[in-house]
Structures are given as structure tokens and as C-alpha cells.
Structure 1
Amino acid sequence: MTFSSATTDGSLFVGHTVALIPGPRAQALKPWMDSTEIAKGLDAYPCKLPYGFFFPVSASSSTAGVVNEGLDVSSTGLVGKNDLLIVGPGVLGRLVAEQWQKEKPGCQIFGQTMTKDHHDELIKIGINPILREVKPTHQFPYVIFCAPPYRTADYPEDVRMAASNWNGEGTFLFTSSSAPYDRNDNGPCDEDSPVVPIGRNPRTDVLLKAEKIVLEIGGCVLRLAGLYISLIDKGPHVYWLEKGTVEARPDHVLNLIHYEDAASLSVAILKKKLHGHIFLGCDNHPLSRQEIMDLVKRSGKFSKKFESFTGTDDPLGKRLNNSKTRVEIEWEPKYPSFAQFLGLPE
């Protein structure tokens, strides 16, 4: 996946594609993303599906990867109490799947996709690939919706259809973006801060309408800050290094969270079996664009040279704080700041 660009609030787009069932866990993450400027931290995924159910397949089976309409979700015809459906499995979805497998040994994890393009890849890492058009036969206790909004004509309706695959017993979690928070002066912002009114911005409208559906059915929303994953792949710093000179103001404040931390927070929320809550995912160390690139330079880990930001009048950002989420979910990030990720002192 190629890294996606930051939104005006510093959120990036996370996509997701994958799932795991009992069996060998993925040893290497092979992400794939599409650039997008839609306010959602989701990477591209071969999914966007109304939502059907499929049977677990064996990697040795000649029919592996083939999903037939009307088949049960499990080999026994029953859904396990810890089984998880990942709608739109990508980088984040794979990490969620891997962590869920550790937390819930013996569970089955399914990844719902729009096409079969990545089914062989999913099967190799122990995933049950599911096609969107297959009719559901059972509901799942745990569902996480990670699909981005830019590949569908009616994103809120996709979320509604995904919710029909949830049996209400565990958690339905929708990974959204921090973009809807109505702040563009680099000021403070938390879980309870006001959001952009419906009608002002088509991009945030899509997310807020999807969130409303989730909350109405008793699901939870996780608004994610900008995602990054490595020194060379996925993150605003990678994009800016590639560009060299960026027409954006240097003092715009962004908020970050590592993919692994976004996944661990998602899993922690799923485990709580909560309903109707809005959570925020960030590292609580907001940085301006210039501060991010200064850290990149200080780290000495990048061969490319960044020149400068040249913007002067584009919007500012916000300073996210998710202390409320951390207390309620009993969660802390593995990477407390971008500086620590780079191996630098604060």
C-alpha cells in the first residue's frame, strides 16, 4: 500500500484487510494502501461489502478461498463465542486479527472483501476470506468495520449492512477518524469536543452519518488520529520526504498513533463489550508538521532530504488528548510518541 496523505486535522487514512483463524499467525505484515484525502484513517482494502458469511477453509483444500452462498460461517455450522468478523481487512485489520488470536485462542476470524484479489494471501496467513455478495447465514459476536469510505456510493448504508452481521452479544466497533472534531486553531480537543455540523463538509458528513448508525444499534466508534507504521512505509513523514517541498503550513498541528497501537486499542475496546461509546485513538503527543520533520532529520535514519513547507494560509489543526479513553479502556500505547518510535528522547 502506498501511504495516504493527511487530512486537514492530521488524520490519515487507515485501511484494513485481513483476519485470522486458528492456525499459523502472520509472521510478516505486507501492507498495501491507496492514497486518499478523505477524512478517515483507513488504508485501501479489497473490501467494501454488505456482508455475508462463509465457511473456514483449509490452506490445503482444493477449494480454499472459494466462498459459496448459503454456507455456514464455521465448519460446525455454528459461530464461536469469540469469533470475529473484520469488514475491510487491511493493515489495521491484520494487526487486529493477530492480536485477537492471542487474546482469544481457538477463535475464528473472518475478513470480508469486495474481490478475490487478495484471497490467496489471506489464506496463507490463516484467514477466512469472505466475499461481500455472499448471503449471511449467521451473525458474529464481534465485528470491526475498517473499510474506508471512498470506494462506495453509500458508506453509511454499508455500515448498516455490516451491523446486520452482529448478534449484539460482544461489540460492534467502527473505526472512524478524528477529522469530524470541529477545531482548526491548533487548540485542545478530546472525546467530548464538538464535531463539525452536518452539511458543512461532505467528507465529515459521510463519517458522522455512519457513526450515527453505529451508535443507534449499540455499537462503538473509535476515532483514530493519523496512522503510521514504519520508517519507510505509511506515515506523513514518508509522504513529505518523497515530496521534498510541500505546499502546506509548517505550524499545522497533527496527531499520530502507530498502527500497532490502533490495533491494540481496537482489541481492548472489543474485549470490554461496551455499547454506544465514542473513543479516541492518539498518542497524546501532538506535533506540528515542522516538528515531525525536525525529528525525522534528528533521527539520522532517512537518506532522503526534506526541503520545506511553503504554505501560509491553509487551516491549522487540533491537539488531541484521549486520557478519558485510556482510563475507561485501561489501555496505554506501545509507542507513546513519534519521537520514541524514532528512538529519540522527548
Structure 2
Amino acid sequence: MGTAITFIPTATAPPANLSRSSVSQRCSSLSNSPILSLFRNPNFKTNRSSSQSLVSTPLRAKSSSVIGAANEAVDASSPGSIGANDLLIVGPGVLGKLVAEKWREDHPGCQIFGQTVTTDHHDELVKIGISPSLKGTKATHKFPFVVFSAPTSRSLDYPGDVREAASSWSGEGSFLFTSSSAPFDCNDNGPCDEDFPVVPIGRSPRTDVLLKAEKVVLESDGCVLRLAGLYISFMNLYVIYIHANKHHILNLIHYEDAASLLVAIMKKKLRGRIFLGCDNHPLSRQEVMALVNKSGKFTQKFEGFTGTNDPLGKKLNNAKTRKEIGWEPKYPSFAQFLGVSE
């Protein structure tokens, strides 16, 4: 059985009606990805005020998991011994936990360690068989498999954090960094694959951070997985107008599929490569919301967009990654995830 993560609305009345202008002001900072809090970019923090303005009720996340018999908790900084399939996850959030689950399915009995910035979720990690440690704790062992899936938002030196993670890798199995599709230099809704040129360093601080971190990984002989917008659940909407360009293209991948692709790449034990994770079904914002309306999963209908000037996106295709890794997604499209036809 896998990890089930659901979002449960609490019994709170929706806010008073909003005018179109007030909605536009509250949503003016909506970024290209995510949209409507359905999608999460693995490396960029969602604007909290925008996310809150797009849901009708407060949400609390409830997670249940059967990952298998949890090993006795061991401090990742000083484990007794490291096995050939043991895994260190730097940033064991939603994606990292799913990776741990899928890795243990393929490697029963392995040890899985998780490095975090705070101790806030250490009890939860122990319960699901991940031995936690704090960032900055000096490790006495190196690990054959290392995954870096921590976001940029909690780091003062992101490339430096990636370099520290690389120093924990023994060089034997795989070191994999989860990046974003943001570095691809395409913003005209055009086609984009693994070989598409990237944004030059110096043009955008946002992409500079990721490209410098990727450089550290590749110089360490690790691999990079650039991911499209991640999604996993639904929230009820009360905003009926969004200040955004309806023609902007979004690229998506379900959290479970991102985790399964990550694990499949690690098992190949490749070196110095860049891969792409997406569902190969890019959609415009308008198409996404049409599918959301069609699904009937929301209490109110989305009615329209008010923005026109924000940049367009890109149409990702990862056929090359799929062929080399031998991977296909569980959810081939957002529409199929919703259970509706496109």
C-alpha cells in the first residue's frame, strides 16, 4: 500500500463576495506555476497570500502511510553501517516521502535517512521509517544513494547546500537533484524537450539559483531531474475570476509519477545527465480550468481570467527521458487524473 495524502476542508463559512477588482488585486502576484494551489513547483515557494485567496475553506493535510516495517530509528549522522541500497533524502517533504516509499518497495530492509532544516517533522519521519537528522550535522558515513529535493525557499546558499549533499554521496549508486523546468529558455508556448537551450546566467535570479545548483550536481557526476508543476489534490474554490493570461501553457506531473521517475532514474545509476519529468499533455490555464469545472469536484464554477500581459509558457515533452529510462506515468494526463475526457 502507498502513502495517501488528502486535504480535508474544515467547517468554515466562505468569505464574503469579492469584486472583480479585489480579486484581481489579490491574485496579481499569481506566478506561472503553480495555479490555484493545485500544482507545486518543487523548487519555488508558492505565494502564500495568493494560495489562500483561491480556496474557500482552510485546509489541514492528513497523511497516512504503510511503507513497510519501519527500521529502528538511527541518527543519520552516525549510522552503525551503510548498506548498498541505503538512501539519504535531503528535504524529505511530500515528494521525498513518496520516493522513500517507492524505494523501500524495491529494496526491502534498506535504511532511509532524511535531512531537514528543523526538527518539526522528525516524529512523523520516524513513524514512516525515515531516520531524521538536522542540516549541518556532520555525517560520519557516505551514502550510495542521495536525493536532493529541498526547495530554494529555505536556503541562504542553495548551490552550497547541494554541494554539501554531494559530499555525502559515496559515488557508488546515484546522486539525483530535483530541479525545475524553469531554466529552459522558452516563453512563447513553443515546444521544449530535454535538449532545449537554457536561460543564460545573469538574466534571471530565479533561474540562476537553479542553474548554479545543477552545475554543482553535474560537476559531482550526479544527475538532474527537471520537473514540471507537481499536483496531488484538490481544494474548493470561491474565486471566480483570476488575474492571469488564460493562454499561458502549464506543464504537469503528479507527485506519485515524479517519485516513480526519480526512483527509476536512480536505479539506472547514471552519471552527469539531465532528465525531464512531465506528463506530455501541456494545457493552457483556460483548458486546465475547463477540466476542473467539468470534473464537478468543486463547489463553484470558475468563470474567467482577467489578465492578458503576463508571459506565455512552454510545451514540455520528455519522450527522450521515457525511452532511456523505460518509464511511463501512472497518470498520463491531468484529465485522466480527474477522470474526465479532454
Do they superpose with TM above 0.5?
yes
Q: Which amino acid aligns with 2:308?
A: T
Q: For the residues of structure 2 that align with 1:226 and 1:34, how far apart are their CA atoms? A: 12
Contact 2:45 2:151 in 1 (8 A): no
Indicate yes or no: 2:94 matched with 1:98.
no
Matches within 5 A, 1:158-307: 158-232=161-235, 241=237, 243-307=239-303
Contact 1:13 1:36 in 2 (8 A): no
1:142 match: secondary structure: strand
Unpaired segments ≥5 residues, structure 2:
8-28, 49-69
Alignment equivalent of 2:78, drawn from 63, 72, 94: 72
1:171 match: secondary structure: strand
Percentage of identical aligned residues:
67
Deviations 1:121-147 (A, max 9, x none): 111122201111221100000000000
Q: For the residues of structure 2 that align with 1:142 and 1:121, how far apart are their CA atoms? A: 22
Q: CA shift at 1:242, angstroms?
A: 5.1
Quote the residue 1:328 is aligned against: 324
Q: Which amino acid aligns with 1:255?
A: N
Quote the residue 1:143 is aligned against: 146
Contact 1:6 1:13 in 2 (8 A): no
Contact 2:42 2:179 in 1 (8 A): no
2:177 match: secondary structure: strand
2:275 match: secondary structure: strand
2:145 match: secondary structure: strand
Q: For the residues of structure 1 that align with 2:185 and 2:207, how far apart are their CA atoms? A: 10
Q: For the residues of structure 1 that align with 2:314 and 2:275, how far apart are their CA atoms? A: 16
Tell me how many residue pairs correspond in the alignment.
291
TM-score (normalizing by structure 2) = 0.80
Q: CA shift at 1:8, angstroms?
A: 3.1
Question: In the superposition, relative to structure 1, how do residues 196 and 280 fare at CA in structure 2: closer, same or farther (>3 Å)?
Answer: same
Deviations 1:145-196 (A, max 9, x none): 0000111111001100110000000110000000110001000000000110
Contact 1:6 1:12 in 2 (8 A): no
TM superposition outliers: structure 1 runs of 4+ over 6 Å: none
Contact 2:30 2:244 in 1 (8 A): no
Deviations 1:51-78 (A, max 9, x none): xxxxx973xxxxx68x49xx622xxx22
1:112 match: secondary structure: strand
Q: For the residues of structure 1 that align with 2:234 and 2:193, how far apart are their CA atoms? A: 28
Quote the residue 2:51 is aligned against: none
Contact 2:40 2:46 in 1 (8 A): no
Q: For the residues of structure 1 that align with 2:300 and 2:186, how far apart are their CA atoms? A: 33
TM-score (normalizing by structure 1) = 0.79
Quote the residue 2:54 is aligned against: none
Unpaired segments ≥5 residues, structure 1:
16-32, 38-55, 59-63, 233-237
Q: For the residues of structure 2 that align with 1:262 and 1:6, how far apart are their CA atoms? A: 24
Quote the residue 1:14 is aligned against: 42
Q: Which amino acid aligns with 1:112?
A: Q
Q: For the residues of structure 2 that align with 1:288 and 1:193, how far apart are their CA atoms? A: 20
Q: Which amino acid aligns with 1:327?
A: K
Alignment equivalent of 1:112, drawn from 110, 115, 119: 115
Deviations 1:287-328 (A, max 9, x none): 000000000111112113323211111100000000000000
Q: Which amino acid aligns with 1:329?
A: I
Quote the residue 2:62 is aligned against: none
Q: For the residues of structure 2 that align with 1:222 and 1:243, how far apart are their CA atoms? A: 34
Quote the residue 1:235 is aligned against: none
